[in-house]
Structures are given as structure tokens and as C-alpha cells.
Amino acid sequence: MAKAPPSISLLLLLSAAIFLALPAVISAIGVNYGTLGNLPPPTEVANFLKTQTSIDSVKIFNVDPNILRAFAGTGISVVVTVPNGDIPALANGRQARRWVSANILPFHPQTKIKYISVGNEILLTGDNNMISNLLPAMRNLNKALVRAGVRDVKVTTAHSLNIIAYDLNGAPSSGRFRPGWDKGVLAPILAYHRRTKSPFMINPYPYFGFDLKNVNFAIFRSPYKAVRDPFTHKIYTNMYDALMDSTYSAMKALGYGDVNIVVGETGWPSACDAPWCSLENAAWFNKNIIKRSQRQGTPLMPNRRFETYIFGLFNEEGKPGPTAERNWGLFHSDFSPVYDVGLLRNGQGGGGRPAPALPAPSTAGGKWCVAKWGASDAQLQGNIDWVCSQGGVDCKPIQAGGSCFNPNSMRTHASFVMNAYFQRNGRTDGSCNFSGTGVVVGNNPSNGGCRY
């Protein structure tokens, strides 16, 4: 990677000006509607999306009849998903016809079902039984739809970008599908998409594979290290465009560059157990994703509109796993925005809480101290104990009820107190050492009401 040349800085200034000139409400965008948590009923969700947002499509991870009924008559498109475990059975034509009769025909066209995604990220599972039956299931479901007279519902499947053999420093124009999956699995799927005029659906997440030394490249922020493709001489200012063009190059190498691409999932969490998750970073990432869905395109696909589904609609508090899993949402369960990306109509708040004010992204000059990735909980607890007892820092914000208590993790609490000590002591590198467990970063880790 090389630093962005002066011409790129000029382009960034022009891009920022264009971005600020965009209308406050986006014309069209989709979201993934997950349901793990104490969330409002589907009828309220459908009414909120229809009356208060510019969101025109949703993607769900099942075929929940309550959700499908709720969206009837709204004009909002719905993508339904076949559970992964159902795929082998649908390789049987009779079973596929029964599935369509039970899950599509009772609701369509009153509910505007647009796509059926056959499973989700099947190749990532490594399950050979599901992988081998994926395309037969897609073909049978398409045949069942045609047989039932339904020709406006397309069948696809969502792919993780582990299907691409790429590295963080590679040339997007040389992107290729992984050997073994390229000609044996993905070429026949792409041939099916061309024949049925259905889209190739991918889930490009910069969050799951970015260079820790170049975080800003993953979240559309400056300063960053740009990537110059040595073959096309195109310059990439963000990882998302590089992932999209790597996918396009892989498709083109197999002879299917004409097949339409739909972004089934992408996003950035507003909180996690690391400093690169914040309201500001999530908002900035998703604003740029929305901009790219409005015909901005990529270096290899200029002016191309990508139908896009942001992950996700709500913060799903019922999700297990790391903190990030519960913080991908655009909205809280009371419909108030987690942050504002211009999707609310006429500046409506949507719920009981207004979106927090976000400062303009910092481009230079800031320095913060955060816990180094890989530091143990015991080391971080020692840092907290020392700073709070002897470092002259007010640690009330990380106590229960404090502005920085959530997310409640050792890493975020330690990062807050370590940074407070760092700022208090002149922001020198030595004041962020903490026996090798601290690191100075140029990206503000503030999160909502927790100001670093």
C-alpha cells in the first residue's frame, strides 16, 4: 500500500463537498430485519418503515408468516430466506413445489416478495451436503414459481466473501474465486443467474477482515493508506470498493461480468470490544454505503447502482456472542435512531430519543490512547486499578450508570481510563505505554455519550 497522493486528497475534498450536497433523505435503500430481542411487532415495524423512512425493501432470515402479512399492501419489497437446513430437501422438485405453495403463494402479490435467498452463506459452512444441493434447490424453486405463474420473484443465494481468494494488499482486478469453488460451484450458479435474470448476492463486510494498521481504509475515513491497482492503475480509497471490484473481477474471469450484483448484507457496528467501533464510525460507514447504492459505483463499475441491504434495522439485544453482535442496528427497539444516516422522512425522530449529534469525522491531529489488542483482562484490570487510584483520573464514567459504562467490557473501560490519563499527561507516547498494553491511535474512539 502507498499513501494517498495529493491528487487523491483533492478528490476526497470534492467527494466530501458532493456528499454534503446530497439530499437529507435517501431515495431508496434496503435493510436486514432481524428479530432477536425485545422488538416491536411486525405490524408496527412495517408501518414505521412505510410512513417515517425512505427504506423501500427489507430482507428477513426466514419466511415468518407474521412478517409477510405485516408488509402486505405497504409497497415495501421483501426478501425471504430458506433456512439452511431445508436446502437438501428442496433438491427434490415435489418438495420445492410444496415449499412455494406454503411460503410464497399465500402472501404474494399482496406482499411484494422480490427474492428468495436459498440459505445464507452456504459455502462458508463447509457442509458438502448443503453445497451440493444448493443449485438444484435454486433451480427447483424457480421452476416451482414459474409453474405457479409467479414470474416476478427471483431465486438467489447470499455469499460470504470468503468465496474470493484475495489479500488486503492485492489488486482488485486480479480477484478470483477460490479454486475448487470457481468452476465447480460458482460458475454453474452464475450461469443460472444469467439464464433466469436473477442477481448474484454477496455480503461484503470490511469489518470482518480489515488491516488493523489501516482501519480508516475500512470505514471511509481519513487519513488512510490508499491501494493502487498496478494493472488498471485505479486508486482505491476504501476497502468496500476493493471488495466489490474483486468480486466483479472474479465473475468476469469466469465470463459472467454481465450478471447483476446485489449487496445482501453490509454494515459496521456502533459498539464492540475495540476502539474502531463507535457511533461516528458506523454512521460514516453506512452513509458512504448508501451513497454508493445511489449510482456512485466503484472504480471498475462506475455509475452502477447496487441494490443494497444494510445490516441491520435494529440493535438485536437478544443476540449471543461479542458486543458487536448486538450493535449493528440503525434503530433502537423504540424506533429512535441509533445515529442519523438520512433515512427518516422530514427529519422525524421515529421514537422517544433523538439521534445523538455526531461530530464531523476527524481528518488529522487527534491522538487517543486505547488498550492494545491482545492485552489480557488481568493486565487491563491492573491498568484500571492504577489509573483510578493513583493516576489522578475521575473513573466515575465507567461505573454503573456512568456515561461510559456501556458497552460493559474490560477493554472499553480500560481504554477510557487509559486515554483519560494519556490526555491529562500531555499526550506523550510514554503516557500510553502501560507496560506495553496501550497504543496511540488517530481515530476518535468516542461512542455516543461517552466522550474520550
Cα dihedral sign for 21, 25, 26, 31?
positive
DSSP secondary structure, 7-70, as one string: HHHHHHHHHHHHHHTS-SS-S-EEEE----SS---HHHHHHHHHHHB-EEEEE-SS--HHHHHH
Geometric angle at alpha carbon 175, from 174 and 178, rounded to 5°: 130
CA 33/CA 61 separation, integer angstroms: 8
CA 416/CA 405 separation, integer angstroms: 10
CA 356/CA 196 separation, integer angstroms: 45
Q: What are the Cα distances from residue 103, in Å, to 68, 100, 208, 290, 406?
A: 9, 5, 33, 31, 40
Measured from the Cβ of residue 400, the count of other Cβ atoms closer than 10 Å reads 7
Question: Is 44 one of the catalytic residues?
Answer: no
Find the helix or strand (DSSP H, E) in which 377 lies. Answer: helix 377-390
Q: Quote the cell numbers at residue 151.
A: 414470474
Q: Quote the cell numbers at residue 189.
A: 450458479
121, 280, 307, 316: the catalytic one is 121
- Close Cβ partners of 88 (under 8 Å, ≥ 6 residues apart): 129, 130, 133, 137
CA 290/CA 31 separation, integer angstroms: 11
Query: Between 187-196 and 128-147, two packed helices, what is the crossing angle to 10 degrees?
Result: 10
Task: Cite the DSSP H helix spans in 71-175.
Answer: 87-90, 93-103, 122-125, 128-147
- Close Cβ partners of 45 (under 8 Å, ≥ 6 residues apart): 33, 39, 70, 313
Bridge-partner residues for 82, per DSSP? 118
CA 376/CA 370 separation, integer angstroms: 14
Query: Can you count the helices (H) and strands (E) in the chain?
Result: 13, 15
CA 193/CA 117 separation, integer angstroms: 12
44, 265, 280, 317: the catalytic one is 265
Question: Is 316 one of the catalytic residues?
Answer: no
Measured from the Cβ of residue 50, the count of other Cβ atoms closer than 10 Å reads 15
- Close Cβ partners of 158 (under 8 Å, ≥ 6 residues apart): 81, 117, 119, 120, 121, 201, 202, 203, 264, 265
Q: Any idea which residues carry the catalytic annotation?
A: 121, 265
